[in-house]
Amino acid sequence: MFRAFGTVKSLNLYMDISVIIPLLNEEESLPELTAWIDRVMQENTFSYEAILIDDGSKDDSWQVIEDLAAQNPNLKGIRFKRNYGKSAALNSGFELASGDVVITMDADLQDSPEEIPGLYRMVMDDGFDLVSGWKKKRHDPIGKTIPSKFFNRVSRMMSGIKLHDFNCGLKAYKLELVKSIEVYGEMHRYIPVIAKWAGYSSIGEKVVQHQERKYGKTKFGMERFINGFLDLLSITFVSRFGKKPMHFFGLIGTLFFLGGGIISIWIIINKIFKLAQRDVVDQPLFYMALLAMIIGVQLFLSGFLAEMISRNSHDRNTYIIDRRIGHDGPGGE
């Protein structure tokens, strides 16, 4: 799940900040967002790069990115062949980032670039590995805020990470951290959890301003809470047993098998010593015991097979980059 990472300085081009912005159909907001980011960087004398990842937009987002990059050399772009999701977009941005601090933010202008200096200082001066934004005051309908609070409460309980807003797109990371993890599937909501697995436990939180959406409409519906809960169950299981599945399946399988075996032996002993009047095969408890033993064997074999697979598998993201701006290599411009 994690890639090996050597030394940060071998990758770092001595840039202060890399801003990673995944986007989908955000042509209207991009000029204002990039101008705002540039103004904040200039005011704080930060050297920076902004990596815009077009996740298969159907509008003119890529054309806008090309035009903006022609005017501002700090802007870089990646275009996917199709929509692969936010996790793939972030992961590709992490691979290309070279700033001492990596900032992620959404492209819809709901994340304020004015928060960047504060996030940067919390990483560089206060020593946090990761700082997550907390949109304490939200400009969302109650139909989104209440499920979000419940979702975050459950996430805190299951992960042990005391954050109020796991799904906030505005986050800051040490460069070393993003080079040490891999974001896959729909796990972008749980990057703090993935970072914690990798040994980066200094995770902080900063109250950030939540802007009202100015253009377009949200790309996520209510299904994100259901998917988020399922992802939380998945990531919790994988974090604890991903490298040792036999510890989970084997333990439960053994308990089922032993329980069923003990009950079966007890029933047979009762019949042998004539403590029970009915035949063994006439007792429902006997069949329940046999079922428990069968389930136990199946769980044990599942754990054994999962152990073999985990020892020989290598997780990789698969996404096809159509075009690049501001990067060398195939597809670059």
95 residue type, one letter: E
Q: How far is the C-alpha of 80 from the C-alpha of 323, rounded, in Å?
A: 7
Q: What is the pLDDT of residue 167?
A: 84
- Below-50 pLDDT ranges, the chain: 1-12, 330-331
Question: Which ranges in 203-322 belong to alpha helices (H)?
Answer: 223-241, 246-272, 284-312
Given this model, what pLDDT does residue 11 score?
41
100's CB contacts (< 8 A; 6+ apart) are 12, 14, 15, 16, 17, 124, 174, 175
Helix 116-124 vs helix 30-43: crossing angle, to nearest 10: 50
- Dist CA 331 CA 28 (whole Å): 25
Residues 6+ apart with CB under 8 A from 227: 186
The domain segmentation of the chain, as residue ranges, is 8-241, 246-310
Q: Report the distance separating Cα 107 and Cα 104, nearest Å.
A: 10
The CA-based angle 313-314-317, given to 5 degrees, is 135
pLDDT computed for residue 173 by the predictor: 97
Q: Count of residues for the chain?
A: 333
The pLDDT value given to residue 40: 97
Structure tokens at 329: 């290599």
Domain 8-241 falls in which CATH fold? Spore Coat Polysaccharide Biosynthesis Protein SpsA; Chain A (3.90.550)
| pLDDT value, residue 57 | 94
At residue 2, the pLDDT reads 34
**Partners of residue 229 on adjacent β-strands:** none
CA distance 29 to 21: 12
Torsion over CA: 284, 287, 291, 297 (sign): positive
Separation between Cα atoms, residue 43 and residue 149, nearest integer Å: 35
Q: How far apart are CA 49 and CA 277, in angstroms?
A: 82
> And the tokens for 258?
């032993």
- The Cα–Cα gap between 125 and 131 comes to 12
pLDDT at 267: 85
